[in-house]
Structure 1
Amino acid sequence: MAVWLLVYLALGAFVGFFAGLLGIGGGGVMVPLLVMLFAAQGLPAGEVMHLALGTSMATIFFTSLSSMRAHQAHGAVLWRIVARITPGILLGTVLGTHIASRVPTKALAVIFTVFICYVSVQMVLNAKPRAQRDMPGLFGTSAVGVGIGALSCLVAIGGGALSVPFMTWCNVKIQHAIGTSAAIGFPIALGGALGYIWNGWGVPGLPAGSLGFVYTPAVLAMVVSSVLTAPIGARQTHRLPVATLKRVFAAILLVLAVKMLWGLFSAP
């Protein structure tokens, strides 16, 4: 078990840094790696994807707090947007976790991989939607939040891949979009983690140490390292070539997602 904890610590450090740097929750990396690690540990094959999603959301909860504080220190969080979108986000997480808990592991893996392909292409092209309008009002922003919250829980992300383009389209400066996305990741992760705990509660065959679909030993190890590296990544947002790093990160995401999918479908 000690070896696995060291692996989770390393994974958390990597995820935390990129969560702070790019305003993402890190689920794109965590989910495929956790699926592979859980399978190697002999956890139930039919639930490894659900456990990976729930565990990722619980970890993102803590990562988002650290990343949010760091971006707030730079004055990059627009709290009026966070307040408007959060009601919809919370409703979306309820819907997303409910749907995910009833979808088989392999189907969830396909959904995840398709989404990661979209995110990877977006990063490689460094695609930024043109600022064509202002932010909508409370109802419109909350409605967008429902979609972001639901999809974020289906693929265990902090919402950055969705909320940053949306805010950029609505004429929000990119640094503010990234910082605000980090803050939006908090209600996404909170609702997502609670949803996966609730929907996985009482499912037979889950490993010891699980709270529903959240595998707490992995969460605790990843949180310890990720909360330390997320502020480091956030500080580098204004210093490093973020566009280049996005392309490298996109390649990593795509390789991991495809490998995960191959592993699940090639297993006996």
Structure 2
Amino acid sequence: MLTFIAICLLVGCIVGFLAGLFGIGGGLVIVPTLVYLLPMMGVPEPLLMSTALGTSFATIVITGFSSAQRHHKLGNIVWDAVKILIPVIMVTVFICGLFIGKLDRAVVAKLFACLVVYLAIKMLVSIKSKATQSSKTLTTTSSIVGGILIGMASSAAGIGGGGFIVPFLNSRGIDMKKAIGSSAFCGMLLGLSGMLSFAVSGWGNTTMPEYSLGYIYLPAVLGITATSFFTSKLGATATSKLPVPILKKGFALLLIVIAVDMFLK
């Protein structure tokens, strides 16, 4: 257990900083890490992916709150942009989570890997794109359609949706820093919806180890959020100070490595 907690604390340091910097929930790192760690804690093989996803969503609630709190102080949350997007995403994530928790682990793992590759490509493309003012605007219809698609993708990947929300808002004319801040707030509530969905989906499953709440393994949640709560604030502050294009290249490479590894395993 001590080794497990120590690794979770280290993972929390990394995902917290990335969450604050890019407005993501950190699930892209948390999910594959937990898939390898959870067997040592007694999580059955068929439930590994579901437990990793559910646990990831639970950590996103805490990390997202810390990140959003800092971004709010920096004035990086556009409330008009998220007032429709948030409820649509939350409802979609909750409904999808009930079904995804029942899918075969191999199917969900490959779906997750495909989404990771997509996010990596989007991140690389965004570096090359010139910063131009988009002619598109954020309408009620685009918020509903975008929210549904983002919710479905986030539910399958166990992420806070930042990889989808940030480029979506930015393409609708919202400044990059404000898109990241708004995404952090959306991710917190998206994580709450996903957490509840996977908790309900796995409720009463007797094959889960002690200290589990449905498909959520609580020791992992505590270990990761114990450090991510603080490092997410550092990441949010660094948004306006660090060379983001260089960091994006490194993070995109990390995503591709994770995706390839999950395909091979």
With the shorter chain as reference, the TM-score category is over 0.9
The one-letter amino acid of 2:109's match is: A
State the match for 1:98 in structure 2: 98
State the match for 2:224 in structure 1: 222
TM-score for both structures, normalised by structure 2: 0.94
Secondary structure at the residue paired with 1:6? helix
What is the rounded CA distance, in whole Å, between the counterparts of 2:23 and 2:52 in structure 1?
Answer: 21
Judge which range, 23-32 or 249-258, deviates more.
249-258
**Of 134, 138, 143, which residue of structure 1 is paired with 2:137?**
134
What is the rounded CA distance, in whole Å, between the counterparts of 1:192 and 1:249 in structure 2?
Answer: 24
* Cα pair 2:110 2:262 within 8 Å, conserved: no
CA displacement, residues 120-144 of structure 1 (integer Å, 9 cap, x when unaligned)? 112233355961311112x441332
The one-letter amino acid of 2:138's match is: M
CA displacement, residues 31-70 of structure 1 (integer Å, 9 cap, x when unaligned)? 1111011134442111111110000000001000000011
State the match for 2:25 in structure 1: 25
Structure 1 segment 97-176 matched on structure 2, within 5 A: 97-126=97-126, 131-137=134-140, 139-176=141-178
The one-letter amino acid of 1:49's match is: M
Measured after TM superposition, the shift of residue 166 of structure 1 is 1.1
* Cα pair 2:49 2:109 within 8 Å, conserved: yes
Q: Which runs of 4+ in 1 moved over 6 A?
A: none
Measured after TM superposition, the shift of residue 197 of structure 1 is 0.3
Structure 1 segment 62-81 matched on structure 2, within 5 A: 62-81=62-81
Gaps of 5+ in 2: none
Secondary structure at the residue paired with 1:111? helix
State the match for 1:48 in structure 2: 48
State the match for 1:201 in structure 2: 203
What is the rounded CA distance, in whole Å, between the counterparts of 1:58 and 1:115 in structure 2?
Answer: 20
What is the rounded CA distance, in whole Å, between the counterparts of 1:199 and 1:41 in structure 2?
Answer: 20
The one-letter amino acid of 2:239's match is: T
State the match for 1:234 in structure 2: 236
Measured after TM superposition, the shift of residue 194 of structure 1 is 0.4
Measured after TM superposition, the shift of residue 200 of structure 1 is 1.0
Measured after TM superposition, the shift of residue 253 of structure 1 is 2.0
The one-letter amino acid of 2:166's match is: V
* Cα pair 1:20 1:233 within 8 Å, conserved: yes
TM-score for both structures, normalised by structure 1: 0.93
Secondary structure at the residue paired with 1:126? helix
CA displacement, residues 7-38 of structure 1 (integer Å, 9 cap, x when unaligned)? 10111111000000111111111111110111
Judge which range, 189-198 or 202-211, deviates more.
202-211
Secondary structure at the residue paired with 2:102? coil
Distance 1:2-1:117 versus aligned 2 partners, 3 A rule? same
State the match for 1:266 in structure 2: none
What is the rounded CA distance, in whole Å, between the counterparts of 1:223 and 1:148 in structure 2?
Answer: 24
State the match for 1:178 in structure 2: 180
* Cα pair 2:17 2:232 within 8 Å, conserved: yes
Tell me the C-alpha RMSD between the 2 structures: 1.5
Judge which range, 94-103 or 154-163, deviates more.
94-103
State the match for 2:8 in structure 1: 8
* Cα pair 2:24 2:161 within 8 Å, conserved: yes
Paired-residue identity, %: 35
The one-letter amino acid of 2:161's match is: G
Measured after TM superposition, the shift of residue 177 of structure 1 is 0.6
What is the rounded CA distance, in whole Å, between the counterparts of 1:112 and 1:223 in structure 2?
Answer: 22
Query: Alignment length, in residue pairs?
Result: 262
What is the rounded CA distance, in whole Å, between the counterparts of 1:165 and 1:132 in structure 2?
Answer: 14
